[in-house]
């Protein structure tokens, strides 16, 4: 079977980017939107075809095969070289579909949303760049290729967040996103260096092969602080994932990233880029699982669980709807992480892995939908804040319905996509770690609560004083909504375990009814509470918030993470390290160099008296010179 044509899937957006980027001034807005959508349309068609092709025929003796097409790009040493290419296996195909789908939807949507914007063409160029980078990341054949596209994704995210570059907050957010993720990527890079040093390869195939150097040989490697260096390497690589996926403690950039245009948030910060961390762990899953008995994987699980819980809590308190969604995203990605973390490898044991990917898939659909819906709302009312919204269901029926579907889906309402994927995660957690399971259930409830808090606040309640009457968005924006709503319902019925598994062998997954019941009831309780609190305006939420007092405040302020970071960066890194470096440079290093010159000049001034202008002084020094030289010489001579 030949999948080499898949290389076109990322290359089409690249071509788009080059064309739109180089000629952004020349191409009229109307054309560039269509051009972008068309390009992505081709990509999605290709990737769907690939998916079909692969999942139908990609098996050999019941195991999904991995296809690799690559070209050497840069050679470091005899063993280490960077290849660029495509790697076709279940998760990459699945991700490819997700990325092209969402990207295509966002392209379509943006044609309406960005209408009339100055940098319309530029926007589409960035989108194309992002799609290219993300696809390159997804299809990476080795760690370094992934790192390359990882960075590119970061950069396009920077460009897109900072799209409204005249807005200081957008610039700050873009910078923050870039720098925070870059700091995390530092870990990624060092991890790559560590792993590649000991294994002599970047290649995913070698790294995840069960008898490869990494998995088979970790026990023999050196250890550091009680852990194998391989474990350290994996943890460091995971640090990159933590950064990109906005897990604790590198999550702080994600809420701010909402400064970007809303379609961007849907594409990057909900559906695709932020799951890169999940994808990274999934990509290296055998390594995480087998090295040092899965210690690194446990780290993944706990980071995921904690992030998911913390994010859910914070989401409850936020009033900016995009921020609510951002924290929700973080929480859901935590879910995926923890699912991976609790997963095992073989057969049905690998349920968590499957669940994680499944959730990734469904989440992409409904979260994109939520964002696009939110975008539609924002587009209508020109505000991000809940207090500026209310009763919009009358004005925006399509948005309202699709938003509701998405909310139900994310809340895990039975029958919707989210229900199925979330259930699998809970089952996996239940089977392996009870603590994580309970926290996940709690998160499920919280999720339902804050989603419906959002929903009721926006679409129910009283009308606010709108500057002009809100109206439904144009067709170009609603069509993607409808499509995604469709997906948010029916994606759940895809038999994912047939396609995506840890050991590449399909297995039968069944709904675990008791656990599903618990989860959905918790979700429904959340919805009901939200209904009570927010269906009609009341002072209940306020009283509730007051009852929790400083805890509420603490959570509302996102646990003061931002402040902590600002303290560390501004006060310590800038204020102390950077300041002292530049002070030291100016006052010690430079001064000492100048000082050498000054000393020379001042010595020169000090000794000017030697040249007294007196003839007899000169004579004395003349004779003195003779006498001194003679004495010195004789002194040496006598000895």
Judged by beta carbon, residue 415 or residue 624, the one nearer other proteins is 624
In the complex, minimum distance from the CB of residue 591 to other proteins, in angstroms, rounded to a whole number: 9
In the complex, minimum distance from the CB of residue 146 to other proteins, in angstroms, rounded to a whole number: 11
Rg (CA), the chain: 30
Judged by beta carbon, residue 52 or residue 622, the one nearer other proteins is 622
Identified binder of other proteins from the candidate list 15, 38, 48, 179, rule CB under 8 A: 179
Identified binder of other proteins from the candidate list 48, 155, 518, 525, rule CB under 8 A: 155
Q: What mask of x and - would describe binding to other proteins in positions 578 to 617, judged by CB under 8 A?
A: xx-xx--x---xx-xxx--x--xx-xxx-xxxxxxxxxxx
Sign, CA torsion 368/373/378/380: positive
Say what angle helices 229-244 and 276-283 make with each other, to 10 degrees.
Answer: 150
Distance CA 238, CA 418 (A): 26
In the complex, minimum distance from the CB of residue 240 to other proteins, in angstroms, rounded to a whole number: 12
Residue 149 within binding range of other proteins, rule CB under 8 A: yes
**Backbone φ and ψ of 354, nearest 5°:** -60, -45
Residues 448-507 that bind other proteins (CB under 8 A): none
Specify the residue for token string 């995971």: 238
Residues 373-412 that bind other proteins (CB under 8 A): none
Judged by beta carbon, residue 57 or residue 585, the one nearer other proteins is 585
Distance CA 36, CA 126 (A): 10
Identified binder of other proteins from the candidate list 70, 175, 464, 535, rule CB under 8 A: 175
Identified binder of other proteins from the candidate list 31, 475, 564, 619, rule CB under 8 A: 619
Size of the site for other proteins (CB under 8 A): 85
Sign, CA torsion 559/562/565/570: negative
Sign, CA torsion 506/83/246/382: negative
In the complex, minimum distance from the CB of residue 17 to other proteins, in angstroms, rounded to a whole number: 11
Q: Which residues of 244-279 are buried (b: 16+ CB within 10 A; e: fewer)?
A: bbbbbbbbbbbbbbbbbbbbbbbbbbbbbbbbbbbb
∠ at Cα 157 (154, 158), nearest 5°? 85
Identified binder of other proteins from the candidate list 151, 259, 292, 424, rule CB under 8 A: 151
Q: What mask of x and - would describe binding to other proteins in positions 115 to 144, judged by CB under 8 A?
A: -----------------------------x
- Please choose, from the candidates 105, 117, 128, the residue with its C-alpha nearest in 3D space to the C-alpha of residue 478: 105
Instruction: Output the CA–CA distances (angstroms, integers) from residue 326 to 82, 167, 561, in the order listed.
Output: 34, 20, 15
Judged by beta carbon, residue 320 or residue 617, the one nearer other proteins is 617
Residue 632 within binding range of other proteins, rule CB under 8 A: yes
Residues 67-86 that bind other proteins (CB under 8 A): 72-77, 80, 82
Distance CA 10, CA 145 (A): 13
Judged by beta carbon, residue 196 or residue 501, the one nearer other proteins is 196
The string of DSSP letters for 570-595 reads IIIIIIIIIHHHHHHIIIIIIHHHHH
Residue 438 within binding range of other proteins, rule CB under 8 A: no
Judged by beta carbon, residue 173 or residue 398, the one nearer other proteins is 173
Distance CA 270, CA 371 (A): 8
Distance CA 560, CA 571 (A): 16
Distance CA 271, CA 282 (A): 16
Judged by beta carbon, residue 5 or residue 165, the one nearer other proteins is 165
In the complex, minimum distance from the CB of residue 34 to other proteins, in angstroms, rounded to a whole number: 23
Distance CA 156, CA 520 (A): 38
In the complex, minimum distance from the CB of residue 271 to other proteins, in angstroms, rounded to a whole number: 23
Interface segment toward other proteins; rule CB under 8 A; list 36-44, 159-167, 339-347, 429-437: 159-167
Distance CA 626, CA 634 (A): 12
> What is the distance between the terminal CA atoms of the chain, rounded to a whole angstrom?
95
Q: What mask of x and - would describe binding to other proteins in positions 252 to 291, judged by CB under 8 A?
A: ----------------------------------------
In the complex, minimum distance from the CB of residue 199 to other proteins, in angstroms, rounded to a whole number: 12
Residues 182-201 that bind other proteins (CB under 8 A): 182-183, 186, 189-190, 193-194, 196-197
In the complex, minimum distance from the CB of residue 164 to other proteins, in angstroms, rounded to a whole number: 9
Specify the residue for token string 């290419």: 85
Judged by beta carbon, residue 148 or residue 386, the one nearer other proteins is 148
Interface segment toward other proteins; rule CB under 8 A; list 177-185, 272-280, 323-331, 401-409: 177-185
Identified binder of other proteins from the candidate list 148, 282, 372, 410, rule CB under 8 A: 148
């Amino acid at each position: 079977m030949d999948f080499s044509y898949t290389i076109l899937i990322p290359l089409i957006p690249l071509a788009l980017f080059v064309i739109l980027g180089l000629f952004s001034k020349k191409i009229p807005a109307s054309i560039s939107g269509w051009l972008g959508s068309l390009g992505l349309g081709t990509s999605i068609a290709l990737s769907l075809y690939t998916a079909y092709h692969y999942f139908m025929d990609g098996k050999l003796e019941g195991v999904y095969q991995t296809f690799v097409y690559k070209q050497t790009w840069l050679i470091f040493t005899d063993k280490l070289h960077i290849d660029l290419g495509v790697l076709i296996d279940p998760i990459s195909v699945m991700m490819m579909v997700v990325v092209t789908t969402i990207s295509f939807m966002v392209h379509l949507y943006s044609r309406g949303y960005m209408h009339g914007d100055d940098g319309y063409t530029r926007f589409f160029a960035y989108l194309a760049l992002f799609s290219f980078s993300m696809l390159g990341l997804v299809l990476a054949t080795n760690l370094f290729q992934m790192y390359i596209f990882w960075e590119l994704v970061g950069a396009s995210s920077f460009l897109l967040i900072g799209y409204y570059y005249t807005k200081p907050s957008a610039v700050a957010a873009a910078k923050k996103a870039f720098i925070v993720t870059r700091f995390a990527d530092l870990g990624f890079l060092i991890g790559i260096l560590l792993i590649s040093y000991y294994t002599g390869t970047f290649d995913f195939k070698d790294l995840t092969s069960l008898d490869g150097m990494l998995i088979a040989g970790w026990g023999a490697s050196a250890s550091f602080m009680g852990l194998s260096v391989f474990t350290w390497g994996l943890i460091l690589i995971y640090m990159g994932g933590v950064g990109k996926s906005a897990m604790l403690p590198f999550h702080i950039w994600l809420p701010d990233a909402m400064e970007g245009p809303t379609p961007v948030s849907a594409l990057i910060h909900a559906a695709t880029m932020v799951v890169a961390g999940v994808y990274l762990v999934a990509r290296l899953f055998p390594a995480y699982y087998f090295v040092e008995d899965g210690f690194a994987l446990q780290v993944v699980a706990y980071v995921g669980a904690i992030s998911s819980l913390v994010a859910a809590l914070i989401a409850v308190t936020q009033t900016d709807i995009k921020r609510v969604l951002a924290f929700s995203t973080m929480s859901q990605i935590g879910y995926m992480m923890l699912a991976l973390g609790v997963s095992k490898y073989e057969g049905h044991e690998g349920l968590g892995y499957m669940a994680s990917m499944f959730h990734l898939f469904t989440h992409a659909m409904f979260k994109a939908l939520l964002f696009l819906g939110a975008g539609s709302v924002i587009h209508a009312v020109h505000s991000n804040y809940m207090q500026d919204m209310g009763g919009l269901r009358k004005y925006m029926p399509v948005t309202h319905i699709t938003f509701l579907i998405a909310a139900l889906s994310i809340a895990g309402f039975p029958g919707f996509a989210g229900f199925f994927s979330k259930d699998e995660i809970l089952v996996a957690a239940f089977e392996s770690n009870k603590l994580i399971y309970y926290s996940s259930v709690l998160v499920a409830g919280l999720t339902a609560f804050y989603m419906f808090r959002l929903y009721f606040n926006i679409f129910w309640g009283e009308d606010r004083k709108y500057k002009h009457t809100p109206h439904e968005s144009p067709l170009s924006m609603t069509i993607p909504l409808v499509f995604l709503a469709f997906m948010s319902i029916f994606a759940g019925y895809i038999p994912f375990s047939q396609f995506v598994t840890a050991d590449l062998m399909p297995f039968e997954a069944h709904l675990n009814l008791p656990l599903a019941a618990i989860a959905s009831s918790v979700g429904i309780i959340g919805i009901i509470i939200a209904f009570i609190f927010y269906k009609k305006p009341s002072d209940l939420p306020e009283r509730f918030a007051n009852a929790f007092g400083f805890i509420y405040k603490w959570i509302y302020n996102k646990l003061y993470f931002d402040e902590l970071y600002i303290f560390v960066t501004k006060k310590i890194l800038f204020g102390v390290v950077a300041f002292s470096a530049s002070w030291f440079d100016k006052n010690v290093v430079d001064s000492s160099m100048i000082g050498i010159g000054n000393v020379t000049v001042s010595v020169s001034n000090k000794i000017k008296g030697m040249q007294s202008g007196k003839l007899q002084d000169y004579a004395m020094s003349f004779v003195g010179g003779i006498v001194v030289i003679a004495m010195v010489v004789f002194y040496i001579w006598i000895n």
